[in-house]
Amino acid sequence: MVEFTTVENLIKTHLEDAVVRVTDLTGTMDHLGIMIISDAFEGKILIQQHQMIMDILREKLDSNEIHAVQLKTLTKAKAQAQGVLNE
């Protein structure tokens, strides 16, 4: 179990421009859906974008604070194209 703000802040300390949205997939606060919007993903293929996030979350996953994650990573341009970022 983990506080969503902890996850958000952890990601933002590594990716400063990131917009992070955490959702609870199972009601137990340890299976998380995480959407991350950041231009740090620019030029990277999807698996590399996910690996960046998994590396940031590694400790939380290893300690079982988080059991499983479903990631959605987007660059700002892609997020705007898909209508999930209105800036």
Partner 1 sequence: MSNDNNPFNILGSDKVPQEGGQAVTEENKSGDLNERIASLIKSSDIFLFMKGNPQMPQCGFSANVIGILNAMNAKYSTFDILTDMDIRQGVKVYSNWPTFPQLYVKGQLIGGNDIIMEMYEAGELEQVLNS
Candidate list 46, 59, 64, 77; residue touching partner 1; CB under 8 A = 46
Q: Which is nearer to partner 1, 16 or 83 (CB)?
A: 83
Tell which positions 5-44 bind partner 1, by CB under 8 A: none
Name the residue among 33, 34, 41 with its Cα closest to residue 15: 41
Q: Which is nearer to partner 1, 14 or 50 (CB)?
A: 50
Candidate list 31, 50, 67, 76; residue touching partner 1; CB under 8 A = 50
Q: Which is nearer to partner 1, 5 or 24 (CB)?
A: 24
> What are all long-range contacts of 41-48, with beta carbons under 8 Å and residues at least 24 apart?
41/73, 41/74, 41/75, 42/75, 46/73
